[in-house]
């Protein structure tokens, strides 16, 4: 019997080796499935195959673990944005390219929200620390990427330099508002075709608003 037991034993190592990451990934998965509200540290540990207690070797407490989940979410979001940017095809004009890049950032943001709604909620729910600029906005992550894209829009001559200040907030408000409406279940935005159509309309709207004229 003891031989069988030893054979069936699933844990070859007493030390996990990468428990911290394993817990964060499992927690992220659980959050995405059922939301942060019903997330439990014990369940995450259980599924990783470790005692609930072991988590306290790596995290101060439950909220600390969720903070790590939020950070992982930010990293994933960044990947979405960069992937969307790199998928933009070449353009003949700098103006066309700059516009398409701005659209890509927006699309990446929305795609991330659609694919990981609960994760986005956790990221916005938890005030994890991030460097901010003088205006009180985060200098890393989507906000910074958006800023760079808007700079390009000025260089390309699409966005008048005089209208550049405050453009981040406008663009971010639109894209975040749209993503929020989508993940909060607005019926008209639940299927992809109408959602894409709404996104296009919204982008045109935002671009006109930003530039102060029809393109």
The stretch near a copy of itself (CB under 8 A) out of 16-24, 56-64, 95-103, 172-180 is: 172-180
Nearer to a copy of itself, 22 or 119 (CB): 119
- Candidate list 25, 35, 43, 156; residue touching DNA; CB under 7 A: 43
Residues within window 187-206 making contact with a copy of itself, judged by CB under 8 A: 187-190, 198, 201-202, 205-206
User: Can residue 11 be called a binding residue for DNA (CB under 7 A)?
Assistant: yes
Task: Return the residues of window 1-60 that contact a copy of itself according to CB under 8 A.
Answer: 37
Chosen from DNA, a copy of itself, none, partner binding at 185 (C-beta under 5 to 8 Å by type): a copy of itself
Report CA-CA distances (Å) from 38 to 44, 48, 66, 71, 100. Answer: 12, 18, 12, 19, 39
| Binding-site ranges for a copy of itself (CB under 8 A) | 37, 124-125, 127, 132, 135-137, 166, 169-170, 172-178, 180-181, 184-190, 198, 201-202, 205-210, 212-214
């Amino acid at each position: 019997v003891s031989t069988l037991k030893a054979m069936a034993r699933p844990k070859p190592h007493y030390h996990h080796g990468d428990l911290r990451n394993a817990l964060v990934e499992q927690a992220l998965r659980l959050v995405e499935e059922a939301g942060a509200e019903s997330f439990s540290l014990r369940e995450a540990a259980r599924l990783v195959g470790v005692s609930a207690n072991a988590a306290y070797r790596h995290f101060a407490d439950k909220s600390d673990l969720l903070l790590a989940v939020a950070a992982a979410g930010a990293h994933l979001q960044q990947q979405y944005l960069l992937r969307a940017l790199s998928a933009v095809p070449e353009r003949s004009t700098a103006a066309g390219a700059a516009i398409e890049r701005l659209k890509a950032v927006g699309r990446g943001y929305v795609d991330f929200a659609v694919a990981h709604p609960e994760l986005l909620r956790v990221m916005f729910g938890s005030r994890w620390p991030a460097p901010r600029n003088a205006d009180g906005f985060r200098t890393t992550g989507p906000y910074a990427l958006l800023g760079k894209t808007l700079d390009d829009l000025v260089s390309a001559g699409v966005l008048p330099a005089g209208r550049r200040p405050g453009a981040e907030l406008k663009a971010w408000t639109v894209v975040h508002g749209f993503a929020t409406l989508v993940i909060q279940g607005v019926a008209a935005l639940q299927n992809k075709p109408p959602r894409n159509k709404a996104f296009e309309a919204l982008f045109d709207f935002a671009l006109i608003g930003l530039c102060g004229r029809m393109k």
